[in-house]
Chain A
Amino acid sequence: MALKMASSPYLRDKLQTSSLMQRVMLCALPGLLVQSYFFGWGTLVQVLFAMATAALCEAAILAMRQRPIKATLQDNSALLTGFLLGLAVPAFAPWWITLLGVAFAIIVVKQLYGGLGNNIFNPAMAAYVMLLIAFPLQMTTWSAPVGFEHHAFGLLETSRIIFFGSTAADISLYQMGADGIAMATPLDSVKTAFSTGLTINEALQANSFSDGFGIGWLWINCAYLLGGLVMIKLKLIRWHISGAIIGSLFVCASIGYLLSPDTHLGPLLHLFSGATMLAAFFIATDPVSAATSNQGRLIFGALIGVLVYVIRTYGGYPDAFAFAVLLGNLCAPFIDHYVKPRTYGHRTSR
Chain B
Amino acid sequence: MTNYREIAWQGLWKNNPGLVQLLGLCPLLAVTATVTNALGLGLATLIVLVGSNILVSLVKNYVPKEIRIPVFVMIIAALVTTVQLLINAYAYGLYLSLGIFLPLIVTNCVIIGRAEAFASRNNLASSAFDGLMMGVGFTLVLVALGASRELLGQGTLFDGADLLLGDWAKSLTIQVWHMDTQFLLAMLPPGAFIAMGFLIAAKNYIDHVIERRQPKTEVETTITRARITKVN
Q: A and B bound?
A: yes
CB–CB B184/A136 < 8 A: yes
A155 CB to nearest chain B CB (Å): 26
CB–CB B180/A134 < 8 A: no
Cβ–Cβ < 8 Å partners of A168 in chain B: 180
Q: Which residue of B184, B186, B188, B190 has the most chain A CB atoms within 10 A of its CB atom?
A: B184
B87 CB to nearest chain A CB (Å): 32
Within 8 A of A (CB), among B174-203: 180-181, 183-186, 188, 190, 194
Separation of A171 and B181 alpha carbons in the complex (Å): 11
CB–CB B184/A133 < 8 A: yes
Query: Counting CB contacts under 8 A, is A11 at the interface?
Result: no
CB–CB B194/A137 < 8 A: no
CB–CB A138/B194 < 8 A: no
Within 8 A of B (CB), among A113-156: 130, 133-138
Residue from the list A108, A130, A133, A138 in contact with B181, Cβ < 8 A: A138
Separation of A108 and B194 alpha carbons in the complex (Å): 9
Cβ–Cβ < 8 Å partners of A108 in chain B: 194
Residue from the list A134, A167, A171 in contact with B185, Cβ < 8 A: A134
Within 8 A of A (CB), among B91-118: none
Cβ–Cβ < 8 Å partners of A138 in chain B: 181
Secondary structure of the B side of the interface?
A: helix
CB–CB B185/A130 < 8 A: yes
- The total of chain A residues at the interface (CB under 8 A) is 12
Separation of A146 and B120 alpha carbons in the complex (Å): 74
Separation of A169 and B201 alpha carbons in the complex (Å): 39
CB–CB B183/A134 < 8 A: yes
CB–CB A133/B194 < 8 A: no
Closest B residue to A171 using CB positions: B180
Closest A residue to B197 using CB positions: A112
Cβ–Cβ < 8 Å partners of B194 in chain A: 108
Separation of A46 and B63 alpha carbons in the complex (Å): 68
CB–CB B180/A135 < 8 A: no
Cβ–Cβ < 8 Å partners of A134 in chain B: 183-186
CB–CB B184/A167 < 8 A: no
Closest A residue to B191 using CB positions: A134
Closest A residue to B152 using CB positions: A134
Cβ–Cβ < 8 Å partners of B181 in chain A: 135, 137-138
Closest B residue to A131 using CB positions: B185
Closest A residue to B153 using CB positions: A134
Q: What is A's interface to B at a CB cutoff of 8 Å?
A: 108, 130, 133-138, 166-168, 171
Q: What is B's interface to A at a CB cutoff of 8 Å?
A: 180-181, 183-186, 188, 190, 194
Give 20 CB contacts A-B under 8 Å: A108-B194, A130-B185, A133-B184, A133-B185, A133-B188, A133-B190, A134-B183, A134-B184, A134-B185, A134-B186, A135-B181, A135-B183, A135-B184, A136-B184, A137-B181, A138-B181, A166-B180, A167-B180, A168-B180, A171-B180
